[in-house]
Structure 1
């Protein structure tokens, strides 16, 4: 053993070290560090310890000293070392940032790390570090859609008011149609999910036709009125309104939230509305389908039942949708609106200002 090294173990230390060496889940570097100390405490010489642990002389000495200074906990901790990578100057980082914010000089829509590395002469990993430090992600983007409706704020407050403070003795329905739902059949059966393997689905499929789901979400109790139809013209919309009329208890006022689809404003629909005085239509601002609560139901339907569904016919698809609606109605959840309309209006205003400054 190295001169000046004397290792004596308490029973507690020995127990911890032996537990490290015997545990199959212990990291190997911790196993041989513990072995160095155990062998040293048993009086084994440095050469023999090197042979047993497959380490160098300086490594043996280092961990002997670490144990003497810090105990068992010191063996489990790696001390940090200064990076071997020479730091780039702030001028390089500023150059990379400015280039990133400009269009690339090639036929590409955005910079990649490889393109930037070639342009600046630094490594791609250095480019990524600079981007990370400055919060730049040129490979990502966000889509947006701003409403140009001159009555945006008025319509927004009207619809949100129905969500958060519905009129007494009235029903509030969020109504829309999900059109062109495809009955897709797979060319081969997929494999089920199992431990260690994802479920599978063939890339190829067969089309068997489409259907349109008309749905009305009762925002007060979360129940859904749904009807499958082949088309989504004003004729089908009127048929769906008649279905709502038949299902809603008499004597209740009905407030219907709709988007601006042409079929919803057809003259024959307006005539139907004139004949049914208890119905009142509330239109969302243009380009604001996200304001219609039933869109959330459509998203869940797509995610949970349609996206990975296998349907051998349109009838099969319609039956699956009807079962999903019935399952939703078995345990409905009331719709809750949480966003502040003032914040939405302010955000839209900022969006328009940003676009105006660009143009």
Structure 2
């Protein structure tokens, strides 16, 4: 099962640093540059929940071609078995081109999350990690640099990938308290 997500457009600019504190106790800030231009890219990504590995790609627009490119990478990353893609109801996910591609690749099925239930998509938490690893505190001159940063961050995150579990982990047991009571 894969949980794909897309973001964009990512425009070449200076991104804010990751949240944190400076050595003298102040919040880290950076001057942000805002620009609107034609040089932008869309980042597509998919998370395999079972082991936490991800696949990313960049496209110049948010359309069916970028989505099909991501689906092709997901298929190559998972050579055997059925693949379920959990996604939202974006029109580029249900276009004629995508439906034709899915008809030729029978082992891949799309499962759509209900409207107004984006919290069900586990990839949103992963996307926060990728944005921090790829963009935080960086300055990009063009879309090629953004694509390179995304691929580097994906490789780094895949080296320490762990399975994703939906929900909050259970609280730790308080062994020291029990030991103290038993020793009394």
1:221 aligns with 2:63: no
1:249 aligns with 2:79: yes
CA contact (8 A) 2:86 2:110 kept: yes
Which of the residues 231, 234, 245 maps onto 2:64?
234
Gaps of 5+ in 2: 16-20, 169-184
RMSD of the alignment, in Å?
Answer: 2.3
Secondary structure of 2:13 counterpart: strand
User: Which residue in 1 is equivalent to 2:156?
Assistant: 327
User: Which residue in 1 is equivalent to 2:127?
Assistant: 298
Secondary structure of 1:183 counterpart: coil
CA contact (8 A) 1:185 1:207 kept: no
1:264 aligns with 2:87: no
**Which of the pair is proportionally richer in strand?**
2
How many angstroms apart in 1 are the aligned matches of 2:33 and 2:96?
43
Gaps of 5+ in 1: 1-171, 187-191, 340-359
1:179 aligns with 2:13: no
Larger RCO (CA within 8 A; separation ≥ 6)? 2
User: Which residue in 1 is equivalent to 2:41?
Assistant: 211
* 311 and 330 in structure 1: CA distance in 2 versus 1, 3 angstrom threshold: same
How many angstroms apart in 2 are the aligned matches of 1:204 and 1:239?
31
**Deviation digits for residues 33-57 of structure 1 (CA, Å, limit 9, x no counterpart):** xxxxxxxxxxxxxxxxxxxxxxxxx
Secondary structure of 2:86 counterpart: strand
CA contact (8 A) 1:173 1:216 kept: yes
Matches within 5 A, 1:1-359: 172-185=1-14, 193-196=22-25, 198-205=27-34, 209-250=39-80, 252-338=81-167
For structure 1, which segment, 304-313 or 267-276, has the greater mean C-alpha deviation from structure 2 after superposition? 304-313
Q: What count of residue pairs does the alignment treat as equivalent?
A: 162
